[in-house]
Structure 1
């Protein structure tokens, strides 16, 4: 359901009602809300926790709730009878009128210049369920690994391009899908009868999964509604041994190359190169990322505090940001916002646009940039020792723990050389 609303209509949602007669801004009831986006696939539910800022009745701290994740949005503000909840990193926001126990409005995302795509949004105070109010008994148990094919043309798992990892307790279901280029972050939902329902909303990812389970073949067959209008069929087969290609084999140096030759500007215009004294004789982690990328956000959440704990050991990090615009005037502020949000101490430069073909041209030593994020680890001599495509975030559970363990083991080895 692709909707482009005129700016004037959207602006009305964040302004006091002309006939409301309100002399002071409305107040939002603090606590948990069950929110839904109205998509082509039906209601996409997620949680919101809204809490007033101390000493201020016009601003609120807001968190999106998906499974075990409590993701902070940007500071929300109330004007007249409406609340605005921005997610600046993703060029999106929730705007809704406050109607007693209900918030009603739109989620909108900027696509180009002043063009916005939107979905209807509603949130009800005090409700915490995902898809069903009351747990119902089910004989289906989806816990485990599922070999998955998104975009299957035959209705069968002809090729495995993802692995579903689910944990079911009663009728509650959580988990994610691992792919060669990252994961689908925190998915939360229910099993109802013979059907699976999962959803996620984090300001960028807007995912609704539905599927029917066939006990005879141990398969799931269903659809994924993504974003404003995206749709993809998918099929999954229960397989405890399901696995993906080695993430260290997808991106590699071209024959004859031993290192990266990069030189790009920071938002302030200062050019940073791997030849700078800062990186000399140090183990260096090059992070290919974008401020628009939720998987990059997960990796940055790991790397930023890791760097603070480890930088005295002789390690450095350089972030190469590929943004929607290659213009420093437009993308520089986005990079700065990202640095502030994640308290990043290492430099992040603007390396180009987030088109993978253009990103590959910007890094000619690599065969290709196939995923955001991609992590390149360079030893003290300046030679590339490891390239990891994608990132398995904390929503993947043990797969994230395994990545962190392997990452630390490699860095320890290179630091000791």
Structure 2
């Protein structure tokens, strides 16, 4: 039945090609859209960001190493398909053209006209996305690397590269002082390294030449940003302590007042939080690290809420419309079943965070997290978030945070 349906669509394309397909490229052979695909975002001439996905009926799974993102495929009578990404305000629109998928990806979180050409070809599995075979003998890539982005420039910043060579692929991520680049998947060849990811917000490509024990390459983010990067193997390299980056201005009281998603104003200090431990998230629905952090704090809240833990999310969004801000936040909140208050605090600017929360100094990252004890004193401020794609770094953070929250809950006042 599915093949017959697509054959009918093809006949419609032929009949109405002058209006629905001005390029006159039509699908002359019916194909079954189910199965694995390699998608490509065409960011520059001869440069694409590849990613893997699988279609199963109306369900689509996107893969990045250990991550799987699920969404729903829809189509209209003209033969065009739409894939709306969960949480993040972006979507694919495409059609079947000569055994391939062709269309575009729009990221409305960046702007209404941010668009990248998209195509896809059938694949055998979700492991391979780059041309060229994986080289599992590149075991020296395993471990931590000291990375410099924009080296030898005034914009240079440091990161930790974590790479894991598997028989079928290369995986890894980059940790910075403001968060991580989440799940990356790719391949190592005789003299090169390639990693990419697509999660609905991030569209990343990392390329590098392997020169002895040095990596030299280029990082691409969508079609709007690129930067050189270098790396040296260094398992002892570390970044600044995330608890030391954002600090407290003692001259300003810890207080705020913002509307929630029902336009009801919520203020802190709040009698509801009397004698309770409070975690304040500073996040945006457009931020993948914020999504990972909200997954973590939703679990933490459910674990400790009966012992007196409260969580409040202060959201800073990429829209001037209050309704659009609410829509984006409710998409995040509902997707993660987060059962604590989300407040509309402002627009997505770290400067605006400091203006609306003047008790904070040097807000460097979305997310930033504030831990307040039962007496109403700020005990910690944490910049960024190391998500599950960082492996042991996330495990250490999770264990330490659980122990710290338990210690705050056990304190007597």
| Superposed pair shares fold, TM > 0.5 | yes
Residue deviations 1:15-59, cap 9 Å, x none?
A: x7483599xxx996323211111122722111112222xxxxxxx
- Cross-structure match for 2:210: 213
The 3 A distance-change label for structure 1 pair 186 and 177 is same
3-state SS of 2:141 partner? coil
- Cross-structure match for 1:318: 312
TM-score after normalising by structure 2: 0.87
Deviation at 1:326, TM superposition (A): 4.5
3-state SS of 2:337 partner? coil
- Cross-structure match for 2:246: 251
1:145·1:163 contact (CA, 8 Å) conserved in 2? yes
Residue deviations 1:156-211, cap 9 Å, x none?
A: xx976101011112472111000000000000001111111000111110110001
Aligned partner of 1:31 among 32, 35, 54: 35
- Cross-structure match for 1:408: 402
Alignment of 1:36-51 (within 5 A): 36-40=40-44, 42-51=47-56
The 3 A distance-change label for structure 1 pair 133 and 252 is same
The 3 A distance-change label for structure 1 pair 101 and 133 is farther
- Cross-structure match for 1:228: 223
Q: Bigger shift: 37-46 or 293-302?
A: 37-46
Residue deviations 1:70-104, cap 9 Å, x none?
A: 0223x321113121001263321111103475321
Query: Does residue 394 in structure 1 map to residue 388 in structure 2?
Result: yes
3-state SS of 1:124 partner? strand
Matched positions, count: 385
3-state SS of 1:35 partner? strand
Distance across 1 between alignment mates of 2:306 and 2:31: 47
Residue deviations 1:308-348, cap 9 Å, x none?
A: 22210110000000011344222111111111111110000
TM-score after normalising by structure 1: 0.86
1:160·1:244 contact (CA, 8 Å) conserved in 2? no
Residue deviations 1:352-384, cap 9 Å, x none?
A: 111111111111000032100111110011111
Aligned partner of 1:177 among 174, 193, 213: 174
The 3 A distance-change label for structure 1 pair 88 and 167 is closer
Deviation at 1:138, TM superposition (A): 5.1
Give the root-mean-square deviation of aligned CA atoms.
2.4
2:89·2:328 contact (CA, 8 Å) conserved in 1? no
Deviation at 1:137, TM superposition (A): 6.4
Q: Bigger shift: 247-256 or 196-205?
A: 247-256
Alignment of 1:166-205 (within 5 A): 166-170=163-167, 172-205=169-202
- Cross-structure match for 1:67: 65
1:360·1:367 contact (CA, 8 Å) conserved in 2? yes
3-state SS of 1:89 partner? coil
The 3 A distance-change label for structure 1 pair 332 and 401 is same
Distance across 2 between alignment mates of 1:97 and 1:327: 32
1:37·1:43 contact (CA, 8 Å) conserved in 2? yes
- Cross-structure match for 2:301: 307
2:210·2:216 contact (CA, 8 Å) conserved in 1? yes
Residue deviations 1:199-242, cap 9 Å, x none?
A: 01111101100011111xx2111100112221101111110101
1:140·1:194 contact (CA, 8 Å) conserved in 2? no
3-state SS of 2:140 partner? coil
1:325·1:352 contact (CA, 8 Å) conserved in 2? no
- Cross-structure match for 2:142: 143
Query: Does residue 240 in structure 1 map to residue 240 in structure 2?
Result: no
Distance across 2 between alignment mates of 1:20 and 1:133: 40
Q: Bigger shift: 27-36 or 393-402?
A: 27-36
Deviation at 1:303, TM superposition (A): 1.3
- Cross-structure match for 1:82: 80
The 3 A distance-change label for structure 1 pair 89 and 169 is closer
3-state SS of 1:399 partner? helix
3-state SS of 2:148 partner? strand
3-state SS of 1:361 partner? helix
Deviation at 1:272, TM superposition (A): 1.1
2:197·2:204 contact (CA, 8 Å) conserved in 1? yes
Deviation at 1:121, TM superposition (A): 1.1
For structure 1, the 5+ residue unaligned runs are 1-15, 53-59
Distance across 2 between alignment mates of 1:376 and 1:124: 46
Distance across 1 between alignment mates of 2:118 and 2:215: 29
2:208·2:216 contact (CA, 8 Å) conserved in 1? yes
